[in-house]
Amino acid sequence: MPARPGSGRKPVPTALKLLRGNPGKGAIPKDEPKPTKGLPPCPSWLSAVAKREYRRVGKLMVSAGVMTVADGPALAMLATSWATWVEAETMAAEHGLIVKGRDGAPAVNPYRKIANEAYDRTRQLLVEFGMTPSSRTRVKAIIEPVAVATGDWWEQSG
């Protein structure tokens, strides 16, 4: 049976291929978009915890030379997932692992499920940004001057 279009491994972005030294020695696309490197402005609608994480991760990625102005939505998702995970973990710790269910019987704290789902989303996004120990080993940093974007990317898209 032939493979479905789009099935299989996701293609590695050219920027990451180059940072890794193009390990497969495959052809580098010449017509791929090349967004300006830099940190997009932090969205005003993020929570305080998410804003801190957005700025913290953004600075790390800019200093590693891998952040572009097109990465704002993904960075906002990472920051939001992180903030959700922090809040859910805090609530789970406050109320304990086991709570009373509707019928009064012991039940797993619902914040545990929220925390676990946010943890999975956050981990996946951290891998996308090369911010886990194993994903980081595949990225080589290139330090060069970067631009800081101005304006609100989430308002310009509509």
The 10 Å CB-count burial string (b at 16+, else e) for 100-129 is eeeeeeeeebebbebbeebbebbeebbebb
- pLDDT at residue number 28: 79
For residues 131 and 93, give the distance between their C-alpha atoms in angstroms, rounded to a whole number: 26
**Is residue 158 assigned to a domain?**
no
Q: Is residue 44 part of a domain?
A: yes
What's the pTM?
Answer: 0.72
User: How many structural domains are present in the chain?
Assistant: 1
Mean pLDDT per block of 10 residues along the chain (158 residues) reads 64 72 79 84 97 96 87 96 97 93 93 96 91 76 52 48
Query: Does residue 29 form part of some domain?
Result: no
| 99 CB burial (10 A radius; 0-12, 13-18, 19+) | middle
* Residue 38 lies in domain: 14-24+34-147
Q: Does residue 104 fall inside a structural domain? A: yes
